[in-house]
Every structure is written in C-alpha cells, then in structure tokens.
Amino acid sequence: MYRVLTVAREYGSGGGRIARSIADGLGWKLLDRTLMETIAQSAQVDPELARRYDEQVDSWLHRISRRGLWHGAFEGVAAVTEAQFLDAENVAALGRSIIEEAHAGGNCVIVGRGAQSVLHSFQDVFHVFIYAPWPDRLARVRERRPEAGNIEELIRSTDQSREDYIRIYFGSDWKDPHLYQMMINSALGEDRVAEMIIHAIN
C-alpha cells in the first residue's frame, strides 16, 4: 500500500498543478512551497532566503570554500551556524530530513527536492516523473512568467539546475527511469494525468 507520492517534473510540465490535484483527490498533504517554509523555520531564516537556494547547486568555488570553513581552515573565526551560513547544500540536507519526517507521517505528496532519491528504497512510496512537449512547456511558462525575457533559456537553465541538484546532492540521474514507477506526459491533460496517477496509487 502506498502512503507517499513523490513528483519530479520538468519545468513548465504542469507537474506542480498535477501534484496539487492529486493531493486534493487523495486528501493528502502537499509538500511543495510549504516544504521550503519548513526548511526556513528549521534554519531560522526568512523563507525568501531559503527559496533562493531551492533546487539549486552551490558554485564549485563556494563548495570548496565552504569545506575549508567548516573544517577550521580559518582559525580564530567564530563558529558559524546554519542560519548564518545558509547555502544550497544546507537547504538540501534540511530538505532530506524533512522529507524523511514526512514519509514517517505518510499521506503526503512531495514535489521535487530529491524526494525520489531520498525515499527510493521504501516500498510504500510511489515515484512519478512528469514531462511535456516543448511547445506546451513554453506556453505554460510564458503564461506564468510573462515578465521573463528569454523563456527558452529559463526552461533549460531550470531543468539543468534540477538535474545538477539531484546528481550532486543525492547521487542520482534525474531522468533515470529506474527511479520511478511512472514517467508520464502531461500532454494527455493535467486532469487526466492526475486521475491516472491516483488510480495507479490505489
């Protein structure tokens, strides 16, 4: 019996809306933006600061500097807390803990943030990857982000960030079919895709 659903999604695929429809249909809790709010509370920082690192990867230089800092490379510097030194790696680690806690409670839909990797070994978790044709993605993002200049570059860079995030912080290939029970095209219609996933879970 499945108690948790994870939803990975291409940017502009409609995956977030589909996840919300599934959560509503099942009567389960949705962890998407609320997951970032929980991370912010745990780190004792403003939610907007936490969102800045949402599904992002720290630069190579930052990661090297960070390791030196945490391992005492700068003698005499006062101890640095996570709240004072929040970065993408901290956000990923906090996200992992919150995802594990959410799984323990069950009855939730978790969107992105590496949940498919964190919970991959659990038999009571159903993993879905939602993708869409390029023209559909362009139309969705253009509607959602009319102020964005280069929509194509925004989509490509967001997807790349998500792919890098999963690879660097969770050691997985974002589009590896073996991570998922279902990979589905939202061109079938968002409502229909939601219904198909609910049917599969049940």
Q: What is the mean pLDDT of residues 170-185?
A: 96
The two three-digit tokens of residue 136, written as one number:
């559909």
Element (DSSP H or E) covering residue 184? strand 182-185
Q: What is the mean pLDDT of residues 86-101?
A: 84
Instruction: Decide if pLDDT at 182 tops 50.
Output: yes
Give the model confidence (pLDDT) of 110-162 as tens digits.
999 899 999 999 999 999 999 999 999 999 999 988 887 899 999 999 999 99
Instruction: Decide if pLDDT at 88 tops 80.
Output: no
Q: What is the mean pLDDT of residues 57-80?
A: 49
Do 174 and 187 contact (CB within 8 A), yes or no? no
Instruction: Decide if pLDDT at 84 tops 60.
Output: no
**pLDDT value of residue 57:** 77
Phi-psi region of 72 (alpha: psi -120 to 50; beta: other; left: phi over 0): left
Instruction: Decide if pLDDT at 76 tops 50.
Output: no
Q: What is the DSSP letter of 28?
A: P
In three-state secondary structure terms, 130 is strand
Please, how many CA atoms are within 13 Å of residue 22, restricted to the half-sphere of its CB? 35
Distances (CA, A) of 194 to 32, 128, 162: 16, 11, 22
Instruction: Decide if pLDDT at 70 tops 90.
Output: no
The rounded distance, in Å, linking the Cα atoms of 2 and 103 is 11
| Alpha helices (H) in the chain, listed in sequence order | 15-26, 33-43, 47-52, 60-70, 88-105, 115-118, 134-144, 151-170, 190-201
**pLDDT value of residue 80:** 40
**pLDDT value of residue 151:** 93
Picking from 202, 170, 200, the residue whose alpha carbon sits closest to that of residue 184 is 200
CB atoms within 10 A of CB 104: 9
**Does the domain spanning 4-201 belong to CATH 3.40.50.300?**
yes
Q: Could you tell me the residue ranges of all domains in the chain?
A: 4-201
Percentage of the residues of the chain whose pLDDT score is greater than 90? 61
